[in-house]
Amino acid sequence: MPKRVYRLGVIGSTSRQASLFYFAFAKEVSAIKDVTLDELDALLQDDQLLALTSDKLGGRCLRSKDFGRPGVAPDRLLRCVVLKHLKSWSFRELEYELRHSLLYRRFTRFFEDPIPDFTSFSRTFGLFGPEGTRQIHQRVIQKAKERKVVRGRKLRTDTTAVETNIHYPTDSSLLVDSLRVMTRSLKRIAGGCADHSLKVVDHARAAKYRLLEICRAAKSFTQASRTRFQNSYDKLLALTRRVRRQAGRVLEDLSAQRLGIDDLRAVLLAEAQLRHYLPLIDRVVAQTQARIFEGQTRSEGKILSLFEEHSAIIRKGKPDKPTEFGRLVRLDEVEKGIISEYSIAVGNPADQQQWRPALESHQKLFGVVPQLAAADRGFWSSDNEQCALDLGIAQVVLPARGRLSAKRAQHQKQPWFRRGQGWRAGIEPRISTLKHQFGMKRARYKGDAGFERYVGWCIIVQNLVAVARNGRKAKRQCRSG
């Protein structure tokens, strides 16, 4: 089967000539109305947003701006990203819906033109990156300020756990993943070597049997089951170490040029993947040995996934899900449901450490501190409260934890404090909306950069919808009065 070749083209033009073949559908399409999409279309018709998108498209290769076949246009790319996150679709669903809907073709400006493949969407969406996504978010906030939707007078902040796209991490499943990854890379290297000079044995069946033995032994707490449990883990560890030693020898042979190579490109790609995964596999083996045979349940830098190694263990005290695996995201919300800032933490820091950065980022964005700043009990400390007062914030709503003194209880019973607590509670449904309506419950893009990009676009689309909704309300008020 011939290998697929990806050709990078010049940036598509935003000025397109109307097609005679589309004329028959134009009247039907104009009759289809969608209030949300029509308002988003007007918001996305922004020169700075298109310039940012064009800049990212032009960064694919050296001459993407002036050489090659025509590629996707900036306005089409921007609208496709927004539509995907608005509907919480996958790339395949996005391609399918665009092909079958005149309404979505009109919104994304494809009209009668052919729709790109879902793989093209995946590659071009990745061009934004974390930095480009944050620039788009900042421009959306700037548009909200220009329309006087937000003024920065109020701030409420909270943190939430966003899951990475991984299976539930267990030591046995991580060892099986390690075996599969090493065997796959070794097979690719062997396929690129001449005269079958490298022999690779696939231990998938043996690993599956060890995994089943571990699952059966873990269901019982008797001493005999515990012995079988450790014996099965010992065999699985031995199998992983054996393949790991072979992978190390293969890398040494490649460095010393002792292997005859036919397909250099395939071998180099497999070698790069192997060099990336081997340090992670060594850590998986070490943490499994420490937990199963030495009883050490806590280890520094624990690996939860070979493919999303940035994932962290997060415990937020939820009854239905006490432990989550992903990243901790801080959300800063101002008036009218606009998320003015977001931050993705490394590890699982305490909420108390997120208060000062939230205030500083708000002051940097709006030029002034808010008149009211609110958060839940997890953010409270005397230093945090004093920090907000020193910045000049008039109303600091931070409920204290533990048993309250008479003075503190009287302070928290004041009407402005109670009103601030009620307003702060509004960020909880905002987080729920982000997770269930815009798909931020689990980040689907790969890697650390992909995680930041996914979270950023969920917030961008939510902000666009909030700006459109507030513009709609303003028009209704004008007509009524």
pLDDT in tens, 255-292: 988 888 888 899 999 999 999 999 999 999 999 999 99
Query: Does position 479 have pLDDT exceeding 70, yes or no?
Result: no
Domain span at 49? 23-127
Mean pLDDT, the chain, whole residue set:
89
Same domain, 335 and 435: yes
- Asked if residues 305 and 164 have their Cβ atoms less than 8 Å apart, the reply is yes
DSSP 304: S
CB atoms within 10 A of CB 402: 8
DSSP 425: T
Boundary of a domain, candidates 294, 328, 358? 294
User: What does the pLDDT read at residue 275?
Assistant: 95
What backbone phi and psi angles, to 5 degrees, belong to 24? -65, -30
pLDDT band with cut points at 50, 70 and 90 for residue 388: very high
| Helices within 297-354 (DSSP H only) | none
Average pLDDT score over residue span 240-265:
91
User: What does the pLDDT read at residue 18?
Assistant: 62
Within-domain flag for 428: yes
Percentage of the chain exceeding pLDDT 90: 72
Same domain, 152 and 193: no
- Upper half-sphere CA count for residue 422 (Cβ side, 13 Å): 7
- Asked if residues 372 and 420 have their Cβ atoms less than 8 Å apart, the reply is yes
Q: Which two tokens stand for residue 307?
A: 């493919």
Average pLDDT score over residue span 228-255:
94
DSSP 341: E
Within-domain flag for 392: yes
Average pLDDT score over residue span 108-133:
91
Same domain, 255 and 344: no
Sign of CA dihedral 34, 11, 146, 158: positive
Within-domain flag for 481: no
User: What does the pLDDT read at residue 296?
Assistant: 87
Query: Does position 57 have pLDDT exceeding 60, yes or no?
Result: yes
Query: Does position 195 have pLDDT exceeding 70, yes or no?
Result: yes
Same domain, 366 and 387: yes
Same domain, 369 and 263: no
pLDDT band with cut points at 50, 70 and 90 for residue 197: confident
Query: Does position 346 have pLDDT exceeding 60, yes or no?
Result: yes
Same domain, 232 and 278: yes
Query: Does position 233 have pLDDT exceeding 80, yes or no?
Result: yes
Within-domain flag for 138: no
CB atoms within 10 A of CB 35: 10
Same domain, 262 and 364: no
Same domain, 100 and 204: no
| 445-454 tens-digit pLDDT | 999 999 999 9
Q: What are the helix and strand counts (H, E) for the chain?
A: 18, 7
What backbone phi and psi angles, to 5 degrees, belong to 449? -65, -40
User: What does the pLDDT read at residue 475?
Assistant: 63
Rounded-to-5 percentages of helix, strand, coil across the chain: 60, 10, 30
Within-domain flag for 478: no
Q: How many domains would you assign to the chain? A: 3
Within-domain flag for 342: yes
User: What does the pLDDT read at residue 477?
Assistant: 59
User: What does the pLDDT read at residue 9?
Assistant: 54
Average pLDDT score over residue span 192-219:
90
Residue 261 CA, distance from chain mean position: 38
Within-domain flag for 68: yes
Same domain, 200 and 94: no
Same domain, 218 and 339: no
Least Cα distance to 284 among 173, 204, 184 occurs for: 173
Average pLDDT score over residue span 40-50:
92
Within-domain flag for 142: no
Same domain, 68 and 112: yes
Burial of 322 from C-beta contacts in 10 A (0-12 / 13-18 / 19+): exposed
- Asked if residues 421 and 374 have their Cβ atoms less than 8 Å apart, the reply is yes
- What is the value of pTM for the model shown? 0.90
Query: Does position 30 have pLDDT exceeding 80, yes or no?
Result: no
Same domain, 110 and 188: no
